[in-house]
Structure 1
């Protein structure tokens, strides 16, 4: 018996990727509905090769009888409609930042902390972590299990798709405008993004960090280990899809490089591509459309005791958002956590 699924924010970049991922992974769907704001009502979205979904109005939709609601409409919308879906018996998997740090909402990456899903039954909401956090903890988890991470310093190089379709459009328009000598205007980002890097994602906080940098620190501790210290610098770069991260970790235990390679090769969700020659690493262009977190440039950091450095990339729309959400639903099925009577 399949499941009745609602995708909220279906016309956005992540929503479309969720629908695509459900089809590609042959998720057991009996019925699927695409939901968005009133201005998107009536648009059509393909689900697989043969089915076309007509977008329905979220504001008037009744979630009663649906098993799963996959949300990616923006935090303010999730704040209103995710609790309504949960109250109607849906299990909500929310891609926004709205519920991530709520103590009674699990923040889950299935390869890292699947058992946290068992805490979701009371409130019926599960949070999907920030895209940059997901790829970090997938790569870090096997190393932490082996050597015990105590401090992480990470610099991110984040694609414009993290800011949605509008961010991608702005990069395209500015890049084209540069070559035809058009005036460059910036609406989605604080400065020109084409042929540039912007060390600013989300709003600034009192200590000088940005909200994106804060998210990486607190989410990593909630998912992986509350004792890990994390310091992040998050940078927007002129890449359409695919986040990259330069990571330096200080461990409690001495690091054996070959053991580190072994556990990364054996870890679910990780592909180690680490060759010390020209092109022996993965770049964001090469990870587009792929499910894995790719780890490269693995090496000892001699500047700190028990230090290890690596480079990792992932498709931020897939593993960083849509795929992780679908994997959460798949894991819940595997754990038999759906209350079909409630739905």
Structure 2
């Protein structure tokens, strides 16, 4: 016996990826409904070897459906997620709307699976920010061994993190550089993204941090440990898919780089590719389409007593969004609903 599953926002990048991953991981689906806005009504999307037509999110009845994976942004989620939850359908939301609600669990299954039981507070589970998700997968096993005091992270985030418009802008601007007849000024981004890097993701806050940087701080505390101090600098780079992060970690206790490497090699969701030679590390283009979070460049930080540096790369459309949502669905099914 399987589940009746809804994908809201099925025509977007993340929604389509959710459908792909559900099929790839053979999630026990008895029936699936794909929802979109009225302007996309009737659009066909693929689910395994099937083709499914989208239905209208505005009029859909969630009664009798087991879970709904939402990838529609905060505004639409605010309107439709409570309706689904009230109808008895558990919402797994990819937007930022519910991440900071104390009554709603924020889950990365490799890190805090026990939090899934808090779903019943509001029948909603939140999916973390893409840059946070991959980082905490790396932090948790190290924290369990040596207790993390402070994290300094710089991110190198691909344009797909800003949606289809971001990818289109990079493509069009890149072409325009080689064809100067057509100028493509910044629209989605604050400055030219082609052949450039932009040290701003989301809006600036009074502290001087951007909201993306604030998200990483707050979400890490909620998912891993509220005592961990986090400071982040988030940068948009001209890469289509795949986020990379340079992470500096300060621990309470000493942790040798070789032991850290061994711990990460055994940790769920992680692949360690760490050879001290030219090319002995993973870059964003190599992680596209993969489920894993890749760790490279593990080394001692000699400038502090108990420090480790590492390089972390993951497909942001997968672990940073769709994959993590599907993993939450698997966890929910396995630990709570127990149908599949």
Task: Give me the TM-score of the superposition, normalised by structure 1.
Answer: 0.97
Q: Deviations over 1:178-212 (max 9, x none)?
A: 11112131110000000000000001000110000
1:195 maps to 2:176: no
Mapped contact 2:104–2:121 kept (Cα < 8 A): no
Classify the secondary structure of the residue corresponding to 1:120: helix
2:261 equivalent in structure 1: 261
2:222 equivalent in structure 1: 222
CA distance in 2 between partners of 1:82 and 1:243 (Å): 28
1:126 equivalent in structure 2: 125
CA distance in 2 between partners of 1:172 and 1:207 (Å): 33
Q: Deviations over 1:129-167 (max 9, x none)?
A: 000000000011111111110000000000000000111
Structure 1 segment 229-244 matched on structure 2, within 5 A: 229-244=229-244
Mapped contact 1:20–1:47 kept (Cα < 8 A): yes
Classify the secondary structure of the residue corresponding to 1:157: strand
2:144 equivalent in structure 1: 145
Classify the secondary structure of the residue corresponding to 1:59: coil
CA RMSD, aligned part only?
Answer: 0.9
Structure 1 residue 305, shift from structure 2 partner? 1.6
Structure 1 residue 122, shift from structure 2 partner? 2.5
Mapped contact 1:158–1:237 kept (Cα < 8 A): yes
Structure 1 residue 333, shift from structure 2 partner? 1.5
Q: Residues 339, 272 of structure 1: CA spacing in aligned structure 2 closer, same or farther, 3 A cutoff?
A: closer
State the 4+ residue runs in structure 1 displaced beyond 3 angstroms. Answer: none
Q: Deviations over 1:94-133 (max 9, x none)?
A: 0000000000000000000000011111211000000000
CA distance in 2 between partners of 1:280 and 1:303 (Å): 24
Structure 1 residue 325, shift from structure 2 partner? 0.4
Structure 1 residue 338, shift from structure 2 partner? 2.2
CA distance in 2 between partners of 1:339 and 1:278 (Å): 48
Structure 1 residue 339, shift from structure 2 partner? 8.4
CA distance in 1 between partners of 2:39 and 2:295 (Å): 41
Unpaired stretches in structure 1, ≥5 consecutive residues: none
Structure 1 segment 327-338 matched on structure 2, within 5 A: 327-335=327-335, 337-338=336-337
Structure 1 segment 59-78 matched on structure 2, within 5 A: 59-78=58-77
CA distance in 2 between partners of 1:254 and 1:309 (Å): 13
Structure 1 segment 264-283 matched on structure 2, within 5 A: 264-283=264-283
CA distance in 2 between partners of 1:122 and 1:137 (Å): 24
Classify the secondary structure of the residue corresponding to 1:116: helix
Unpaired stretches in structure 2, ≥5 consecutive residues: none
CA distance in 1 between partners of 2:338 and 2:144 (Å): 33
Classify the secondary structure of the residue corresponding to 2:121: coil
1:94 maps to 2:102: no
1:304 equivalent in structure 2: 304
Q: Deviations over 1:2-54 (max 9, x none)?
A: 111100011110000001111111110011011011101010001112x1110
1:171 equivalent in structure 2: 170
* Greater shift in the superposed pair: 251-260 or 229-238: 251-260
CA distance in 1 between partners of 2:305 and 2:14 (Å): 40
Structure 1 segment 313-328 matched on structure 2, within 5 A: 313-328=313-328
CA distance in 2 between partners of 1:184 and 1:76 (Å): 29
Mapped contact 2:9–2:71 kept (Cα < 8 A): yes
Mapped contact 1:91–1:338 kept (Cα < 8 A): no
1:40 equivalent in structure 2: 40
CA distance in 2 between partners of 1:46 and 1:77 (Å): 23
Task: Give me the TM-score of the superposition, normalised by structure 2.
Answer: 0.98
